[in-house]
């Protein structure tokens, strides 16, 4: 029997839309920090460090108030998952500084596609023709966004594609963790390890942020922690097959923010590529729901 927190679709929609708005907000903050908008441009590794630092502090505050009981920690899985999370976030922040935010966001929607592919060797899952077709469709959309012609190819888009592959691996590792440890423990340990990795990497590129940049880094980390919490709350109130399609609202928020802050307007190729990726991802989500 399901617990009393499930079957609350309106609450789930509210939480997942809030998470989508916050995730898009972290991306626009990363873009402003990676450009000379708030001061000298910060290196993506330094932006990633700020994200983990302030997210960890926010989660540590939550843990201090709630005082949850933690169980056994699988450090091997956590280190692997956190390494993927740090690398994926750093690559995505690097891509965001050079390509339109909606394009990078759309490419990030390939995460579940790569997670599906990686689940075959890592989790022993079987994939049928419908899910392979959905994956192929999403990859075609990514190819459109990459604009693979000599005149329009965006090398930075490859950074976003690599980030999607690494984050797909992270999703697979999260699946292994969620059945073994409570959510807050996973988030806290993940951000602690990610902060440790980021603190070493940032030593090679450190530059003193301006006061405004410190505020933006704090906002980025806190928004990311809040977005993760909202996502968990949404998943607790409805089936994942119901929640996941609403995450594509992130693309709408990213387009809106990019237009308001940088005056960017997506062109027809961006719209076409994003539409193809979302169609493939929705087909994949529908098929997974049918399988369950």
pLDDT class of 2 with cuts at 50, 70, 90: very low
Is residue 2, in this structure, part of any structural domain at all? no
CA atoms of 25 and 79, how far apart (whole Å): 27
Q: Which residues contact 44 (CB under 8 A, 6 or more apart)?
A: 30, 34, 90, 91, 93, 94, 97
Is residue 1, in this structure, part of any structural domain at all? no
**pLDDT of 92 over the 60 cut:** yes
Percentages helix, strand, coil for the chain (3-state, rounded to 5) are 80, 0, 20
Q: Looking at the 3D structure of the chain, how many domains does it have? A: 1
- Please check whether residue 278 is in contact with residue 108, taking contact to mean a CB–CB distance below 8 angstroms: no
**pLDDT of 205 over the 70 cut:** yes
- Please check whether residue 26 is in contact with residue 223, taking contact to mean a CB–CB distance below 8 angstroms: yes
Higher model confidence: residue 87 or residue 8?
Answer: 87
CA atoms of 52 and 86, how far apart (whole Å): 8
Q: Determine the structural domain holding residue 265 and report its residue range.
A: 9-291
Higher model confidence: residue 1 or residue 252?
Answer: 252
* Predicted pLDDT of residue 222: 92
* Predicted pLDDT of residue 129: 83
CA atoms of 61 and 55, how far apart (whole Å): 10
* Predicted pLDDT of residue 69: 82
Query: Averaging pLDDT over each range in 185-189, 219-223, 268-272, which range is the top one?
Result: 219-223
**pLDDT of 4 over the 70 cut:** no
Is residue 206, in this structure, part of any structural domain at all? yes
pLDDT class of 1 with cuts at 50, 70, 90: very low
pTM, whole model, 2 decimals? 0.82
Report residue 20 as tokens. Answer: 């989508």
Q: What is the mean pLDDT of residues 9-22?
A: 87
User: What's the mean per-residue pLDDT of the chain?
Assistant: 85
Higher model confidence: residue 8 or residue 21?
Answer: 21
Is residue 4, in this structure, part of any structural domain at all? no
């Amino acid at each position: 029997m399901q617990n009393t927190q499930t079957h609350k679709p309106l609450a789930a929609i509210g939480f997942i839309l809030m998470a989508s708005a916050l995730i898009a907000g972290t991306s626009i903050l990363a873009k402003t920090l990676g450009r000379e908008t708030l001061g000298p441009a910060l290196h993506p590794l330094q932006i990633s460090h700020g994200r983990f630092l302030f997210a960890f502090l926010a989660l540590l505050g939550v843990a201090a108030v709630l005082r949850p009981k933690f169980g056994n920690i699988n450090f091997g899985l956590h280190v692997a998952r956190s390494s993927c999370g740090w690398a994926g976030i750093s690559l995505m922040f690097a891509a965001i500084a050079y390509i339109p935010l909606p394009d990078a966001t759309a490419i990030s929607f390939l995460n579940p596609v790569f997670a599906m592919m990686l689940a075959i060797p890592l989790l022993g899952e079987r994939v049928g023709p419908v899910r392979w077709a959905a994956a192929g469709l999403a990859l075609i959309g990514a190819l459109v966004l990459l604009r693979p012609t000599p005149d329009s190819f965006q090398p930075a888009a490859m950074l976003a594609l690599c980030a999607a592959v690494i984050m797909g691996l992270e999703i697979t590792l999260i699946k292994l963790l969620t059945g073994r440890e409570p959510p807050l423990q996973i988030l806290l340990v993940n951000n602690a390890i990610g902060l440790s990795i980021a603190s070493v990497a940032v030593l090679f590129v450190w530059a003193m942020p301006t006061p405004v940049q410190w505020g933006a880094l704090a906002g980025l980390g806190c928004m990311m922690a809040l977005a993760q919490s909202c996502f968990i709350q949404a998943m607790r109130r409805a089936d994942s097959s119901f929640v996941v399609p609403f995450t594509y609202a992130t693309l709408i928020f990213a387009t809106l923010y990019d237009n308001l802050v940088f005056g960017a307007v997506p062109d027809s190729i961006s719209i076409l590529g994003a539409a193809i990726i979302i169609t493939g991802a929705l087909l994949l989500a529908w098929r997974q729901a049918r399988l369950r």
